Each structure stands twice: as structure tokens, then as C-alpha cells.
Amino acid sequence: MQEVLTAQDQRDEGPRAAAARFILRPSVQGAIMALIVLNAITLGLETSGRAMAAFGDVLMALDRLFLWIFTIEILARIYAFRGRFFRDPWGIFDLLVIAIAWLPATGPLSVLRALRVLRVLRLISMMPRLRIVVEAMLHAVPGIGAIALLMVILYYVAAVIATKLFADTHPQFFGTIGESMYTLFQIMTLESWSMGIVRPVMEASPQAWLFFIPFILIATFVMLNLFIGVIIESIQTLRKQREEAEALPGLDPAVVMRELRALREEVAALRTTVGPR
């Protein structure tokens, strides 16, 4: 995340540095998160006809007030962090969410009123732990893509086999490859797989369990656990990188220089004690 206090921000007494320190205060960040939660509640109440009939004007006024507060906060962040704001993907995300809320919600753009609830997603950018989870999921996309390709191959092979074996007796489930793949997907989710699909198939083909049980073990337990494993590994890797990156800026240069001078003095004293050989 680019929106962090640098050593210059901490030393500078100018208005930009003061704005950066103010924005990153825990109390200010907590207040913004509380306003996001309150805005989420008001947006939910707007879906209730009874609430709108009783407090419609108040809810709309609160929504406009929240939008102005969030807009001022975004502008203050842009002023305080300048280019660092636009180098931060989460900053761009917050800017887009607020910009969408300002678009006119009339005529063909009336659907954009429903997108106001996207402001709730700003909680992700405000909470470091949630950011790590989302960033880890994006970081795991290549690994997930490889597993997804493997699953497609598995589904295609299983669908061809199932179509050849069960198309004559149960065409509603396995009449074509497309229908077979959809049925196998339903079996993978374990939604009515036994009573709804497998047992009726076994009435005509008693040995069908030799096909379905291995498929369930591979598709449901092995493949899905691979997805989970890739995401967990990505979270751990990203968290470790984040901790290492955050540890470096926290070092005090004066302390580092004192340690270096002390180390040099110790080396010089050791050379004097040992003497030339």
C-alpha cells in the first residue's frame, strides 16, 4: 500500500504532510469505517418499502451526506499523497467507487443507483487483513487457472465416458456432452447427487458406482482442496512479504548508523588485540 507515512511526512510541517498524518490517524480511519458501515445500513433500509415510506427523505439525505464525506476524504488523500495515491491499486478502487456514485442515476443510467452499495466494499481497502486476503486471491490466479484447466480436462473426459455409458438409459442427465458436464458439476457440488442422479442410474446400471465414487473423490475432495491450498499458500507468501517490507521502513537511520559505528569499533579493537601474523 502506497498511502503510508514516510520519514519526510513525519518531519515536514507543511499542509500536505499534516493532512497525511491526519488521514492516517487510527481514530480517523476508524471513523471512516464506521461511516461506511452506517452507509451500508441506510442503503439496506432503502430496499424496504415501509422504511422508505416513513424515513425516505432522511435516508436519502444521509446517503448524500455520506457521499460528500467520502468524496472529501478521497480528495484529501489525493492532496496528501499525490502520486502515491494513484500508484496504490486500492486508492484507484476507492476513487472509482466514489466516482460511480456521482454519476447521474436517471434514464438509462438508473441502474447505477444499485451500484451505490459498492461503497461497502471500501471496508476491504480500509482493513489490512481483508486486503491481504483479496490480494492473495488475485496473486493465486495463475495457480487457480492451472487447476481450473485440469478440472476442465477431467470434466471433459468424465463427460465423454458418462455419455457413452448412460445416455441410452438416462438421456435427461447424460444425453449430450454438455448435459453430462452439467450433471457432473451438480454431482461435484454434492447437490442431490445420490437420490437424484446416482441411485436412479444404478437401478439400470448397478455397477455405475464404480464411475461416480472415484469421480466424486477426485473432483470434490482433491480438486477443491487444491484450490484452497493454492489460496492459503498465496496468503502466507503475501503476508510474509508484507511483514518483511514493513520491517525495513521502520528502521531508524540513526540507530543503524550507531550500530555500524559500534561494529567498526569492535572490529578495530579485535584487530589490535590479535595483532599482525
Q: Which region among 49-58, 82-91, 117-126, 250-259 has the lowest average model confidence (pLDDT)? A: 250-259
Which span out of 57-61, 137-141, 266-270 was modeled with the highest average pLDDT?
Answer: 57-61
Percent share of the chain, pLDDT over 70: 85
pLDDT reported for residue 202: 93
Return the closest-CA partner of residue 94 out of 76, 119, 69, 116: 119
Q: pLDDT at residue 155 above 70?
A: yes
Is residue 35 predicted with pLDDT exceeding 70? yes
> Which range, 46-55, 68-77, 128-137, 222-231, has the best average confidence (pLDDT)?
68-77
Identify the burial level of 137 via C-beta atoms within 10 angstroms of its C-beta, where 0-12 means exposed, 13-18 middle and 19 or more buried: middle
Mean pLDDT of the chain: 84
User: Taking 60 as the threshold, does the pLDDT of residue 2 lie above it?
Assistant: no
Q: pLDDT tens digits, residue range 241-266?
A: 777 666 655 454 445 556 666 777 77
- Residue 7: is its pLDDT beyond 70? no
Q: What percent of the chain has pLDDT over 90?
A: 34
* Integer Cα distance of 125 and 276 in angstroms: 60
Write the CA distances from 254 to 8, 40, 91, 259, integer angstroms: 15, 46, 32, 9
pLDDT band at 223 (very low <50, low <70, confident <90, very high): confident
- Which one is predicted more confidently, 192 or 241? 192
Q: Give pLDDT, residue 175.
A: 92
pLDDT higher for 184 or 134? 184
For 91-121, write each residue's pLDDT tens digit.
898 898 888 888 776 666 666 667 778 888 8
C-alpha closest to that of 46 among 124, 122, 113: 113
Q: What is the pTM of this model?
A: 0.64
The grid cell for 217 is 473423490
Return the C-alpha cell found at 43.
442503503
Q: Which cell numbers in the block locate residue 232?
A: 492459503
Least confident of 70-79, 91-100, 235-244: 235-244
The 8-class DSSP code of residue 1 comes to -
| In the chain, beta strands by DSSP E | none
- Domains of the chain (ranges, CATH numbers): 7-126 (1.20.120.350), 127-277 (1.10.287.70)
98 close to 74: Cβ distance less than 8 angstroms = yes
pLDDT for the residue numbered 257: 57
User: Looking only at Cα atoms, what is the longest distance across the chain?
Assistant: 95
pLDDT band at 167 (very low <50, low <70, confident <90, very high): very high
pLDDT at 118: 82
Evaluate if residue 19 carries a pLDDT over 90. Answer: no
